[in-house]
Amino acid sequence: MKCLLHHTCMEFFLDTADVDEIREIASWGILDGVTTNPSLIKKSGRDFKQVVAEIASICEGPISAEVTAMDTDGMVQQALELKNELPENVIIKIPCIPEGLAATKILTEKGIKTNVTLIFSAAQALMAAKAGATYVSPFIGRIDDTGHDGMTLIAEIMETWNNYPDITTKVLAASIRHPTHVLQCIQLGAHTATMPTKIFRQLIKHPLTDKGIDGFMKDWAEVEAAGKA
Ligand code: G3P
């Protein structure tokens, strides 16, 4: 079930390979895609292709599966194998290195969608866009971890995109650590955010919503007890 506004507002992706979590968030009706990486596949404890195929059957949005070859030919070969063996909605995640740019260009020319990952500068994002990337993934949290401001990178990338309005590559904010990251990305106009399940839960929860429900339910119980429901 894909969000009804996925063409016109920020896409929300889940950053996990845990199928139970993906099922839960997909049931909310607002999940637009899923991103995985080798570390998340390791955490799942499952076979790579099997788990990605299952994820692709739960969520119709793009499901990122990452190549692990570090040379262009190897990346292209792995990508073609993944596209051949896995469902149509799987897209290919590629690291932002020269070999990855070349692989992105080749795959784009073959009509295969890509997500260029491990982006830490606006120049890297622009180079990936020039290679035809469908998505670029700047990592906010990992920049914050170094004592710098990850959100500045999103601002720089969005400014670059505004300067060149013909760029169609979507900016996929990744390595998101708290709800404020998401709100700031929304304000900057990033196209997509990929987040762990915890952030989805934090974004929907508000103590005043819970308090309001408690109050309404208590009062309604009294209406029912009075036989007036
Ligand atoms: O999927 C890539 C990215 O979101 C990883 O996040 O938390 O490992 O820095 P993190």
Q: For residue 62, what are the contacts with CB-CB under 8 A and spacing of at least 6?
A: 13, 33, 34, 89, 90, 91, 113, 115, 134, 135
CA distance 197 to 179: 11
Judged against a pLDDT cut of 70, whether residue 1 lies above it is answered with: no
Judged against a pLDDT cut of 90, whether residue 3 lies above it is answered with: no
Q: For residue 72, what are the contacts with CB-CB under 8 A and spacing of at least 6?
A: 99, 100, 102, 103, 106
219 CA to centre of ligand 1 in angstroms: 44
Of 157, 158, 201, 155, whose CA–CA distance to 178 is shortest? 201
Q: What is the CA radius of gyration of the chain?
A: 20
The best mutation among 146, 154, 175, 198 to test binding of ligand 1, ranked by most ligand atoms within 8 Å of the C-beta, falls on: 175
176 CA to centre of ligand 1 in angstroms: 7
* Residue 5 banded pLDDT, cuts 50, 70, 90: low
Q: For residue 172, what are the contacts with CB-CB under 8 A and spacing of at least 6?
A: 11, 13, 35, 115, 135, 136, 137, 138, 190, 191, 192, 193, 194
Judged against a pLDDT cut of 70, whether residue 2 lies above it is answered with: no
16 lines ligand 1 (CB under 6 A): no
Ligand 1, residue 36: give the atom nearest the CA: 1
Name the CATH superfamily for 4-228.
Aldolase class I (3.20.20.70)
Domain parsing of the chain, residue ranges: 4-228
* Residue 97 banded pLDDT, cuts 50, 70, 90: very high
178 CA to centre of ligand 1 in angstroms: 12
Q: Which residue has the higher pLDDT, 30 or 2?
A: 30
Q: Are 33 and 61 in contact (CB under 8 A)?
A: yes
On average, the pLDDT of the chain sits at: 96
37 lines ligand 1 (CB under 6 A): yes
Predicted confidence at residue 197, as pLDDT, reads: 98
Query: Which pLDDT tens digit goes with each residue over 103-152?
Result: 999 999 999 999 999 999 999 999 999 999 999 999 999 999 999 999 99
217 CA to centre of ligand 1 in angstroms: 40
Predicted confidence at residue 151, as pLDDT, reads: 98
Query: Which pLDDT tens digit goes with each residue over 159-210?
Result: 999 999 999 999 999 999 999 999 999 999 999 999 999 999 999 999 999 9
pTM > 0.85: yes
Predicted confidence at residue 6, as pLDDT, reads: 57
Predicted confidence at residue 4, as pLDDT, reads: 66
Spell out the SS3 assignment of the chain: CCCCCCCCCCEEEEECCCHHHHHHHHCCCCCCEEECCHHHHHHHCCCHHHHHHHHHHHCCCCEEEECCCCCHHHHHHHHHHHHHHCCCCEEEEEECCHHHHHHHHHHHHCCCCEEEEEECCHHHHHHHHHCCCCEEEEEHHHHHCCCCCHHHHHHHHHHHHHHCCCCCCEEEEECCCCHHHHHHHHHHCCCEEEECHHHHHHHHCCHHHHHHHHHHHHHHHHHHHCCCC
Ligand 1, residue 174: give the atom nearest the CA: 4
Query: Which pLDDT tens digit goes with each residue over 11-66?
Result: 999 999 999 999 999 999 999 999 999 999 999 999 999 999 999 999 999 999 99
- Region 73-98: what's the mean pLDDT? 98
